[in-house]
Amino acid sequence: MPTRSPAGGATRAPGTVGIRVEGIERDFEGFKALGGIDLAIQPGELVALLGPSGSGKTTLLRIIAGLEFATAGSVFFGTEDATHLSVQERRVGFVFQHYALFKHLTVADNIAYGLSVRPRGERPSKAAIKRRVEELIDLVQLNELGGRYPAQLSGGQRQRVALARALAVEPRVLLLDEPFGALDAKVRKDLRRWLRDIHERTGHTTVFVTHDQDEALELADRVAILSKGVLEQVGTPDDIYENPASPFVLSFLGDTVALPVEVRAGRVLLAGDVLDVAPAAGTTDGRHTIYLRPNELALSAPGAGIPGIVVSLRRTVNGRRAEVRVAFSDALIEVEVPTDYPLNVSDRVGLKLQKARLFPA
């Protein structure tokens, strides 16, 4: 029976397990693709592996799946050491970036594949396979398309078939490699909601790889951010956004402007001038970089916050966008301004910060 999951408040698939990787390293002919990854994923949890290309996120996913093997480290499924299990023995559902549907098989036969290749003793009856396929076609909303071939489907439909095919084998965990990478923006958004919905209904422990910050934050219970083969931070979307652990995480999650500043006795100095900004308690003295997020800035009269000068003003769908040059630097930052806010080009303004995001330089 499905049970409530501690992670997402969703149902949990029977037999789904947590995943734990310990000290995973991967060398590609001298190049270290992964340098010691430790990560624990709870049963039923939906986790995003987020990072720029080349960060090792797909390699980590493939190592969890057993499609690639680690140079060092272990993979656990629940309490079972899966490090040396073959991909077949791991019983994972893997959704490939370009779907990898079998072109010569219909949608229904694609979904049935995993069940029909089982050895005779374990193979369900033809009728049982047919029933299961129908269930899944229903789950992924592909009714009426069971007889079509992959070439006759749209990208979004192919993605649904790939997911149904992976779910058919009742996998212990579900792994998706850039699930929406090859789709256009509109379909991406729809499928995002749909995947979240499927996850809530089926409750598999799910790990997906993405380079899209929005996608990771919107979809995942927790996000693991990778850079250059190293885990930078793991946390809930709110947590990593509000409290980024490193300049990399901060600048990877949306646009930022970085300014070199100095902290001296609890005060922040930009080119010698004291800024109207309070550093967090315990910030050490010395050279720092302050990171500004456009959406955490508010325009105010000069004298408050960081001084700047309006360089240009543009109309947008939601209001106006002011391009502000930050004082004592060449940095330009774009701030959204309400239409009724009195502002002209060349006006001096103050950029008030909700939070001073300081990292030692």
Per residue, the 3-state secondary structure of the chain, as one string, reads CCEECCCCCCEECCCCCCEEEEEEEEEECCEEEEEEEEEEECCCCEEEEECCCCCCHHHHHHHHHCCCCCCEEEEEECCEECCCCCHHHHCEEEECCCCCCCCCCCHHHHHHHHHHCCCCCCCCCHHHHHHHHHHHHHHCCCCCCCCCCHHHCCHHHHHHHHHHHHHHCCCCEEEEECCCCCCCHHHHHHHHHHHHHHHHHHCCEEEEEECCHHHHHHHCCEEEEEECCEEEEEECHHHHHHCCCCHHHHHHCCCCEEEEEEEECCEEEECCEECCCCCCCCCCCEEEEEEECHHHEEEECCCCCEEEEEEEEEECCCCEEEEEEECCCCCEEEEEECCCCCCCCCCEEEEEECCCEEEEC
Residue span binding other proteins (CB under 8 A) among the ranges 8-16, 113-121, 229-237, 349-357: 113-121
165 binds other proteins (CB under 8 A): yes
118 binds other proteins (CB under 8 A): yes
* Among 9, 14, 52, 87, interactor with other proteins by CB under 8 A: 87
104 binds other proteins (CB under 8 A): yes
186 binds other proteins (CB under 8 A): no
185 binds other proteins (CB under 8 A): no
8 binds other proteins (CB under 8 A): no
* Among 76, 149, 194, 359, interactor with other proteins by CB under 8 A: 149
67 binds other proteins (CB under 8 A): yes
96 binds other proteins (CB under 8 A): yes
Residue span binding other proteins (CB under 8 A) among the ranges 6-14, 62-70, 283-291, 304-312: 62-70
187 binds other proteins (CB under 8 A): no
166 binds other proteins (CB under 8 A): yes
103 binds other proteins (CB under 8 A): yes
91 binds other proteins (CB under 8 A): yes
For binding to other proteins (CB under 8 A), which residues are involved? 65-67, 87-88, 91-94, 96, 98, 100-104, 113-114, 117-118, 149, 151, 165-166, 168-169
